Amino acid sequence: MSVKPTRNRYLQDGSRAAELHNTAREVLPGGNTRQSVWTSPRPTYAVAGNGCRVTDADGDTRVDFVNNYTSLIHGHGNQQIAAAVREQLSEGTAFGLPTPWEIELASLLVDRVETIQQVRFTNSGSEAVMMAVKVARAFTGRSRIAKFEGCYHGAYDPVEVSQAPDPSNWGPPEEPTPLPFYPGHPGVSDVTVLPFNDLENSVRLIERDADTLAAVVVDPLPQRAGLMPAEPEFLQGLRDITKKHGIVLIFDEVMSFRLAPGGVQSLLGGSPDLTAIAKIIGGGFPVGAVGGRADILDFFNPSKKGPKLPHAGTFNGNPVTMIAGLTAMQMMSDEEYQRLARLGDRVRDEGNALFERSGANWQINGLSNMFRLHPNSRELRNYRDAWRDEDETRRAGAMYHALMARGVMLTPDGMGNISTAMDDSVVDELLAALGDAVNEVDS
């Protein structure tokens, strides 16, 4: 298959993107209001999406493997979701009352996920993780949490600890140093930082702090840390040790819930007490949810006698999000999950075969319908393995621009995911672009 160049007009002086970015820099810090969409020297600005393609402000169209960071499982402008939302828009977008649709979406999640007995809605993945941690604290009467080095769980202080360490400060691999994420970051010493996929040392550190630990938070497929799957015996080991000490095991499936009808836990195991979900369950609108054990979530129950955790939120369970999410989730049959996973397998298998044939120092990892491109070929089991030095960072940046110029959009750090708007021909486009780009980047 031949590659269609897009010319990357957004990078040219005098482009519409340059004009927009100049104005943006006056009113938004650095011209940006969302770190993850920042690219140097400027981002491309989206003006329209259609299925699996996005058109930018300079008129270039690319295949979108970002899908708003995994949230758009049906791609852009899905007509069924749009019709359902349009109908609700004229009936009212939010009320100071519950609506029937929050019950329907909660019921769907309870039906599909074995460990979810009840659900509490929020407006983002960050809030979902935050409320999961808070309710774990209320349930255990303890306040400390443990999380894994280099893993991203949104913008809540305790889970931001050691989010982006580097070799100059990360400490010994068997006991990562808890590090602040920003100047003034509070409560860093109240967080135990664990090494991912290292059960022996994780168990040792959890046992050390067991009396004060409310929760262990783990993403079984942590994208920012490198998208390496948690090993099933590692997840089972975390389940066993947390159970032994009455610590709440929280899975962050904000992204990885998209991998299977029962979430990533149905693929890798681990049986969490609570699961934070978001992204795809909002059908393209802002959303979050905590699901899990009814006895823990009962701390949110306003009629509960005794200690409880009051939780408000102006847009929790708003009908637009609930209807969009319900429509999106109802459209996801088992067969469709399998089809997307098969396309993801093709990206990994054929992409890696292509690199091997050409001797390129690249690899693609991930699971099911999520994948990530790495500028190296070493074994990746944790954040430290995937950490990029200066040269790898430069090559990854060059690859992003080279793929953009060939009409393919991944995230700047190389993550992609498959939507239902994609088929084999789109995977062919990606593979052709990769084969071509790798020659340019490493020549």
Residue ranges that bind ligand PLP, judged by CB under 6 A: 69, 124-126, 129, 152-154, 219, 223, 252, 254-255, 278, 288
Q: How far is the CB of 414 from ligand PLP (least distance, A)?
A: 15
CA distance 134 to 209: 18
CA distance 93 to 100: 14
Q: How far is CA 407 from CA 51, 95, 231, 272, 360, in A?
A: 15, 42, 35, 40, 21
Nearer to ligand PLP by Cβ, of 219 and 413: the residue is: 219
Q: How far is the CB of 229 from ligand PLP (least distance, A)?
A: 14
Nearer to ligand PLP by Cβ, of 181 and 342: the residue is: 181
Q: Do 312 and 298 form a contact (C-beta atoms < 8 A)? A: no
Nearer to ligand PLP by Cβ, of 210 and 277: the residue is: 277
Nearer to ligand PLP by Cβ, of 320 and 360: the residue is: 320
Q: How far is the CB of 255 from ligand PLP (least distance, A)?
A: 4
Q: How far is the CB of 431 from ligand PLP (least distance, A)?
A: 26
Nearer to ligand PLP by Cβ, of 44 and 126: the residue is: 126
Q: Which residue is nearest to ligand PLP (CB)?
A: 125
- Strand-by-strand arrangement of the 415-417 sheet: 363-367, 370-374, 415-417
Question: Residue 275: beta bridge partners?
Answer: 251, 291
Q: Which residues contact 424 (CB under 8 A, 6 or more apart)?
A: 343, 346
Nearer to ligand PLP by Cβ, of 252 and 273: the residue is: 252
CA distance 84 to 323: 7
Question: Residue 193: beta bridge partners?
Answer: 147
Q: How far is the CB of 123 from ligand PLP (least distance, A)?
A: 8
Nearer to ligand PLP by Cβ, of 15 and 70: the residue is: 70
In the numeric block, the tokens 């088992």 are attached to 334
Nearer to ligand PLP by Cβ, of 57 and 215: the residue is: 215
Q: How far is the CB of 282 from ligand PLP (least distance, A)?
A: 9
Q: How far is CA 357 from CA 350, 351, 353, in A?
A: 10, 10, 6
Q: How far is the CB of 344 from ligand PLP (least distance, A)?
A: 17
CA distance 143 to 214: 6
Q: Do 340 and 100 form a contact (C-beta atoms < 8 A)? A: no
Q: How far is the CB of 253 from ligand PLP (least distance, A)?
A: 8
Nearest to 54 by CA among 369, 407, 403: 407
Q: How far is the CB of 256 from ligand PLP (least distance, A)?
A: 7
Question: Residue 192: beta bridge partners?
Answer: 146
CA distance 188 to 287: 28
Nearer to ligand PLP by Cβ, of 127 and 429: the residue is: 127
CA distance 434 to 223: 20
Beta-strand pair 144-148/118-122 = unpaired
CA distance 42 to 28: 13
